Amino acid sequence: MKKAVLALSLALAGSSLLGGASASTTSVAQTPVSIDFWTFYLAPKFDGYINGVIADFQKAHPDIKVNYIDKQGTLEQELITNISLGTSPDVVNLWVESTQKAADSGLLTDMGALVPYAKTLYYPNSLSNFMVGGKLYGLPWYASFNAGVMAYNNDLIKKAGLKTLPKTTAQMVAFAKTIKDKTGAYGWAPAIKDPQGGSFLGVFAGEGLPLLNGNTAAFNSPAHAKLLQTYIDLYKADYIPQDLLRKEAFQLSQELYTQGKLATIIGGPQALNRVRDNNKAIYAASMITDAPVGAGRTQAGGGMDLVIPKAAKHPKEALMFAQFMTNRLNQVAFAKIVPIVPTAAGSNLDPAFAKLKASKDPIEKATGMIAANGPSLKTAIPPLKNATDLFKAFDDNIEAAFLGRKTAQAALNDAADAWNKLLK
């Protein structure tokens, strides 16, 4: 019964919001309510933007007060604690993997009744990131590409005598070797074992190789092993940094590129913020181009969403706010102040992004380029149950292969065995 009431209220909230401007300015709250909105690592830098959106929302809905609270590294733990204490927030900013885990554990409100409308509001790829078992558990807010654009240090490219830039990951392998041989700097820092787990699966997906065949692991074919061996060879010959085995590729890329020890930095424009702040000379020598893609021709990335915990005290008002926060106008406005990829349908058509794309400034140009690529953004690894254990088993074997303890094929076979047991 409760579920039916919730579904009905969600549907009503959804239709009232989607029905037009007049609906959006009418609050459904009968008595004043206060909702708690948790963000992840956004304060204090984006307080101005977020408080502005909240003010707009409160103006349209005078009966709803939004309390904005930014959480940082302990967001997940605090969410669990607050749910257990009966003080759950109403709207929470999570990411793909955490939404999947929280949905699996039954912590989130199923926004299923909204699906028919949501498909028109957000890019389908972005929306599918937050669908688990056909149910929608989060509204896409903003996203980032793993390999959206490639910034390159033009001084190092010239020093290496290179005339062309790599367009594919296969060309990137040759590029990395030339850069290292000619300049001593690394050419490439691909994600091979990021601490958050399973990143080499992204390499397979990028090359169009399958990860799963139904409920069975499919990443141990000879083609997969050959690809893994290519990376192992690069690692052993010191053509890619050793620390990729224990540090996040994004973080390590920023560190090395800023120090002039890496020729390319692949990712979103946000990767260049630190370079601009810490090494003006390298930032000035930086140029932007499309990131190399694998044979799969996909652009992988991660996404952030807004979820509503089941324990939220005001789910109806929470849903209204989550939709307002993630609507096209607000996402585009956010993308104009920080280089994120808006996920609301039609965001890519905003003329501001075309203007940015033509800019000479690396961050502005990259921002324009990725914003226009939003519709193609796709998460490399599909939502998985038992993701923590699956990624641990996979990463342990990948590490064993890189450290020479197992052959590439044996490591993938062992990982596949572990997955097949866990996926049963």
Contacts to another protein by CB under 8 A? 76-77, 79-80, 83-84, 97-98, 101-102, 104-107, 195, 238, 242-243, 245-248, 310-311, 386-388, 392, 395-396, 399-400, 403, 405
The CB-side HSE value for 64 (13 A sphere, CA atoms) comes to 31
Shortest distance, CB of residue 410 to another protein, whole angstroms? 14
| Distance (Å) of CA 137 to CA 106, 309, 328 | 10, 9, 19
| Of residues 172 and 311, the one with the C-beta less far from another protein | 311
Shortest distance, CB of residue 310 to another protein, whole angstroms? 6
- Region of residue 29 (left: phi > 0; alpha: psi -120 to 50; beta: else): beta
* Helices and strands, number each (H, E), in the chain: 20, 14
Shortest distance, CB of residue 7 to another protein, whole angstroms? 17
DSSP SS3 for 364 = helix
End-to-end CA distance of the chain: 32
| Of residues 74 and 164, the one with the C-beta less far from another protein | 74
Shortest distance, CB of residue 349 to another protein, whole angstroms? 35
How far is the C-alpha of 289 from the C-alpha of 187, rounded, in Å?
15
Shortest distance, CB of residue 39 to another protein, whole angstroms? 17
349, 331 Cβ separation under 8 angstroms:
no
| Of residues 210 and 404, the one with the C-beta less far from another protein | 404
Shortest distance, CB of residue 179 to another protein, whole angstroms? 17
| Of residues 252 and 271, the one with the C-beta less far from another protein | 252
DSSP SS3 for 108 = strand
363, 276 Cβ separation under 8 angstroms:
yes
- Both tokens of residue 421? 């047991």
| Of residues 149 and 192, the one with the C-beta less far from another protein | 192
Shortest distance, CB of residue 197 to another protein, whole angstroms? 9
DSSP SS3 for 264 = strand
59, 89 Cβ separation under 8 angstroms:
no
| Of residues 18 and 83, the one with the C-beta less far from another protein | 83
Phi, psi of 95 (to 5 degrees): -125, 175
| Of residues 35 and 94, the one with the C-beta less far from another protein | 94
Alpha helices, DSSP H only, in 309-350?
315-325, 328-337
